[in-house]
Structures are given as C-alpha cells and as structure tokens.
Amino acid sequence: MTDCAAQVMKLIILGSGTCVPSLKRNAPGYYLEAEECRILVDCGSGTLLQLEKAGRSYKDIDAVFITHKHPDHFADLMPLIHALLATPDLGRVKDLYVFSPKGFTEYYEASVASVLGHPKGFIVRNMEIRDHLDFGPFKIATVKTIHSADSIAYRFERGGKAIVFTGDADYDQGIIALARNADLLITDCSFPDSLKAKGHLSAKECGMVAAKAGARKLVLSHLYPATSPDMDRINESREAFDGEIVLAEDLMTINI
C-alpha cells in the first residue's frame, strides 16, 4: 500500500490522558514509526502540538488508525488535514490513509469533508478496517472491544515484534487473544480498581490481560484523574502481572 521500509519500531506516547482536560496528560494519541513509515494511533485534541513537542511533524504522517468514534480519540483529525492543506509551500502529494471502524467514513464525509472539502494535491483515503491488513512494514490485526458500538483494538507486528493498543476496552477474551505474546501492551487503565467503570479496564484487570496474554511489558495509559496516587495503579496491576509495568507519561518514548 506504501513503499515504507523499516528497521525498528519506535513508539512515542503523545497523549496518556482522556477527554478530561489536564495540564499533565493530553488526550489519547500515539506515534508509531518504523523507518520511513509514520502513523498515528488515535489523535485526540492537542495531538498536533504534541507531535511538534516530540520532534516529529504532522507533515510526515502516512496514516491515522482510529480506535473508535469518541471525540477524545480523533478530534485532531480535522486539524491535521487542515494543516496539510494550509501550510504554505508544503505541497503534499502523498495520500493520507485513515483506518477506522465501520461507519466512520460516513461521519468523515458529513463532518470533515463537508467543511474542508476533498484535497486537490493528495487524497484522504478512508479505509474501513478489516480483521487483518498490511500497511507499510506493519502487519496489523484488530478485534472488537467492549466499550462502544464501534470500538476496536489494534496489534501492529514488524520483524517478529508486536505492539498492542487496546483503545478503550473492558475486560474480555478478545483483547487477551490479540495481545498474545506481545512485546508491548498499551492498555486503557482509566481508573484504579475502586473506581472501576463499565467499558474500561481497571488497573488490576490490565494486569490480568497482560498475564493471561503472556505480554512482556505493560504500559498503563488513558488515565483519568483520581484522588489516589498514580503508583496505586501500578501496584494493583502487579497483583496479577509480574512483568514490567510502566505508567504512561506524555512524550515518553519506547523502542521495540
């Protein structure tokens, strides 16, 4: 689909937060890079600015993978396309791929294309996600999650390594299967166990998913503000998972 090549996978966490405004945690967004292929997994409000802070550029993005149609996960899609259209002397010609769950294309046409129109110099290619696909150097698998009608999780593989993003998800066997033997598992850890919310993983459940999947490293992300210390989520996850656990921070870089 593209001529991207890759040697390693690099992940930058652009937003470890949620829809709740925070000076510490931006809305959800992840930058995944393999050599010349650069993608976003979700792009909540503020993602473009976070890219600049991370030393990366919106100009280079090849594709956006959206987990579901809640604003905190795709709000910067329109600003991204607007910037690609309006940046002086950019003259982008390579297509921008937008991979999303079923139904997003209709939303895009009604709410994004109706405002920005269709670019003349490049094409925004809206692709409804399949169970498996290849993009650049990545082999990608997905599974439906328990959260919203359209929510999905993603698994990106390259060179025998795998990164899994649960997106917003509750505990179920689907995400455990998708995360099987993953080198890096980034989970929705919205709340500590005491504040468990339907449609989201609690901290201990994140550990259970990682343990049952045999994941090597667990990153707790999508963190709502809580009155308890952040370390409590790590401790609760550790009740079920004895591997490496990291609390996501904005602009954190992880090489796989």
Q: DSSP secondary structure string, 132-151? A: EEEETTEEEEEEE-SSSTT-
Compute the distance between CA of residue 190 and CA of residue 187 in angstroms, rounded to an integer. Answer: 9
Residue 177: which H helix or E strand, with range?
A: helix 173-178
Q: 2 in a domain, yes or no?
A: no
Please state the rounded mean pLDDT for residues 52-63: 97
User: pLDDT digits over 113-164, tens only?
Assistant: 999 999 989 999 999 988 899 999 999 999 999 999 999 999 999 999 999 9
Give, as one character, the DSSP assignment of residue 240.
T
3 — pLDDT class (breaks 50, 70, 90): very low
Compute the distance between CA of residue 1 and CA of residue 251 in angstroms, rounded to an integer. Answer: 29
- Checking if the pLDDT of 1 tops 60, the result is no
Q: 93 in a domain, yes or no?
A: yes
- Encode burial over 114-135: b for 16+ CB neighbours within 10 A, e otherwise: eeeeebeebebebbebeeeeeb
User: pLDDT digits over 155-191, tens only?
Assistant: 999 999 999 999 999 999 999 999 999 999 999 999 9
Q: What is the pLDDT of residue 26?
A: 98
Residue with the two structure tokens 């919310």:
197
Q: 116 in a domain, yes or no?
A: yes
Distances (CA, A) of 119 to 115, 123, 183, 191, 204: 11, 6, 38, 40, 46
**What residues contact residue 223 under an 8 Å CB cut-off, 6+ apart?**
16, 17, 18, 25, 189, 190, 230, 233, 247, 248
Q: 60 in a domain, yes or no?
A: yes
Q: 5 in a domain, yes or no?
A: no
Coil, strand or helix at 39:
strand
Q: What's the number of domains the chain is made of?
A: 1
Q: 180 in a domain, yes or no?
A: yes
Specify the length of the chain in residues: 256
Q: What is the pLDDT of residue 6?
A: 42
Q: What is the pLDDT of residue 2?
A: 43
Residue 10: which H helix or E strand, with range?
A: strand 10-15
Q: 213 in a domain, yes or no?
A: yes
- In this structure, what are the phi and psi dihedrals at residue 233, rounded to the nearest 5 degrees? -65, -40
| Mean pLDDT for all residues in the chain | 94
- Checking if the pLDDT of 99 tops 80, the result is yes
**Nearest alpha carbon to residue 155 among 145, 171, 169, 166:** 166
Q: 141 in a domain, yes or no?
A: yes
**What residues contact residue 174 under an 8 Å CB cut-off, 6+ apart?**
143, 144, 145, 153
Residue 122 belongs to domain spanning? 10-255
- Checking if the pLDDT of 7 tops 70, the result is no
- Checking if the pLDDT of 5 tops 80, the result is no
The CATH number for 189's domain is 3.60.15.10
Q: Which amino acid, 251?
A: L
